Structure 1
């Protein structure tokens, strides 16, 4: 496995990241433990800025918070000049609590609740990315009631399938996301938003999938989106933005071969210039929404090795103290990872082991057929590329507490998410007690 960012193997044979010994991190903070290389997070963001700076385009890099959202991450991306893409009231609350400027926040989601819409409007977020006709009317209703005019982008399904897993492909026609281009829904949505008094349509949005290792899909989507954009301009919409989403691939295993960030950006910029110039349209501002490509490579997860089960001639299992509760991606869609024994990283990985979690599920697997040095109880296992969609998808299955999250930089550590305890897992439980007719119980109500 190629070591990314500041990762290295120290003279004692331990894996180091951010100037910190991962074995010492595990000892100090416990496991499972998510560790982020802060310098590499910032370097990934700066690579997008540097690439766009050479294109001459107006642009915006909006970090997709769904990849990993915490106060510290929101603060970091703000410091690096990013906007923020949130998909729920919880992510919006976290961003605002971190002091993120609301005007630089966009809200996504195919089923925003009225509470989330109102929260966004009242907070003064920069724009809603509207996903369907129902939402158009909901945002209009809320804006009217609150006496605001709201900027929106219309999400369009351009009918482009990127080369990715079907569960994370979102730009094709058969998708829960966006107004379909082929059947005329996008045109109808533009016509409807033009009629509404409290919505201002400033742009169009498309996201064609995730873990994309080529540029052809982006180019094809941009060409189709330019056609839709031209129709919107003819209708008199104040369009100024084309948001091409994210989906830029990262390396999980040596089988993956992601393009450099600059190559993605140059292809997108070239396609926008070509498609819009050919139609005599002003070149729009180009927005992108990288999430995984920023957070993913910069994060690792540390586990403590526990039990083993060897089935001669069949499979070798080694279990760790986490699993599908902190990384459900193998269970969801067979995601692949690579790992190393962090306390013996210098030893030859000449055995094949399937890394299992501690949940009561046969499918609780982290890595199938990982090449490792012979594991022993108490070893520290480091799994690479877990910075995106791992902590973000964490669960309390089997009442397992959530792991802690640490940022590391120049040999220093910052605990940015505390580890939960068993008591934390049960903190919202209440004993069984039925309320008599007319009694008021402290249930439900506002969520903010």
Structure 2
């Protein structure tokens, strides 16, 4: 397993993250357990900010909280001087409860409810990213009722398709998101938005996909956005102050993945903006981006305890752990692949090939196929790397399994930032109608 950030194998032959022995984390917090390398998270934040600062352009780097949203993470984003994207009232509430400055919050989503819009306006967030004509009218009406003027970007689908899994590609024409550039709806949206008295149109937004390992897609998107901006300025006199090129910057999950340094992505984006807007004598806009996975993905490690195994001669050996698709649904959803090691025997050489199975009552609950490990024993601790993005965020209570706790580690210290769920959490919202026969509890 590739060791990211502060991870290393210590003198005891154990995996160590943030200066803390993984076996000690398991002893204190139990498993499954999400462990985040706080130092690496902060380094990723600073890489983006520093790279944009070097460009000389005005910018905002907004962490896409859908990747991993808890109050402690929101606090890190605030401390690192970044903005924050939310896509629901739950994410917005989390950010506000963490004390995140509302003026640095951007609200995304293709189906924002009236309640969500009202909540965001009342909080005086910085910007809405508007996704469709219905939302445009609804947002203007609600803002008018509240006697406010709200800032917006229009989400554009530029027709640029990045080389990603089909389920997470969002920039192409056939998408549930945004106003299409090719069929004229984007232009009509700008015309309409510019006439609505309770909206201030800052500019446009695009997102071309996820887990992107090249820069050409971002260059193409910047070129299309610039061409559109010039057309809008010439035909209806609207000048965009902000161009948001979204996120999608890739990370290394396995050896075959080849992400670029953050500085390379950022330089490609800023150079493309300078070139395409400069040649048209267009005022250089402020550049916004929205990294999520690339901030937290490789900073996360999930620790499991090995339980049972099943060896089918000539076929494969299954090794089961105490988690699975409830804490990491990505292999089942996307056929995502991961690397792993035995955290308590990290210096030992592999001697067998096993497949890691989850504990859910589903044949498809498989975390890793064909993994090289030392001879695996019950009670070993399995560490799966790069689980910081979309693992906790997408976790569920399928089979009424309790969701894991989350720990941040840094400089030899561990801090619990999300408690492990309890049985009371599992049944906390359940109700039994009075008409049903009352029986005594057996637990």
Which range, TM-score by smaller chain?
over 0.9
Aligned to 1:338: 339
Superposition map of 1:360-379 within 5 A:
360-379=361-380
1:232 to partner: Cα distance: 3.0
Alignment partner, residue 46 of structure 1: 46
Superposed CA offset, 1:130-158 (max 9, x none): 01111111111110111110100000000
Contact 2:407/2:415 (<8 A) preserved: yes
Alignment of 1:32-431 (within 5 A): 32-234=32-234, 235-431=236-432
User: Could you give the per-residue CA deviations for residues 344-392 of structure 1, whole angstroms, max 9, x where no partner exists?
Assistant: 0001123211111000011111111112112110000000000000000
Q: Which residue of 2 aligns with 1:438?
A: none
Deviation at 1:433, TM superposition (A): 3.5
Gaps of 5+ in 1: 436-448
The DSSP-based 3-state class of the residue aligned with 2:314 is: coil
> Could you tell me how far 1:238 is from its partner in structure 2?
4.9
CA distance in structure 1 between the aligned counterparts of 2:232 and 2:350, rounded to whole angstroms: 57
Q: 2:369, 2:44 → 1: CA distance?
A: 29
Partners of 1:206 and 1:433 in 2: how far apart?
52
Q: Is 2:306–2:319's contact at 8 Å kept on the other side of the alignment? A: yes
Whether the 8 Å contact between 1:250 and 1:297 is mirrored in structure 2 is yes
**What is the TM-score with the length of structure 1 in the denominator?**
0.96
Q: Distance in 2 between matches of 1:231 and 1:102?
A: 33
What is the SS of the residue equivalent to 2:57?
coil
* 1:276-313 per-position Cα deviation (integer Å, ceiling 9, x unaligned): 11222111010010000000011100000001011111
C-alpha separation in 2, matches of 1:358 and 1:140:
49
Work out the number of aligned pairs and report it.
Answer: 435
1:197-217 CA deviation, whole Å, 9 max, x = no partner?
Answer: 111110100000000000000
- Aligned mates of 1:375, 1:19 — CA distance in 2: 25
| Matched-pair contact (CA < 8 Å) for 2:355–2:371 | yes
Is 2:302–2:385's contact at 8 Å kept on the other side of the alignment? Answer: yes
State the Cα distance separating 1:54 from its structure 2 match: 1.3
* Structure 2: 5+ residue stretches without partners: 437-443
> Shift of residue 434 of structure 1?
6.2
TM-score w.r.t. the length of structure 2 is 0.97
Cα deviation 1:164-184 (Å, max 9, x = unaligned): 101111100001111110101
SS of 2:393 mapped into structure 1: helix
Asked if the contact 1:14–1:342 (Cα under 8 Å) also holds between the matched residues in 2, the reply is: yes
Query: What root-mean-square deviation, in Å, do the aligned CA atoms of Structure 1 and Structure 2 show?
Result: 1.1
SS at match of 1:50: helix
1:17 matched residue in structure 2: 17
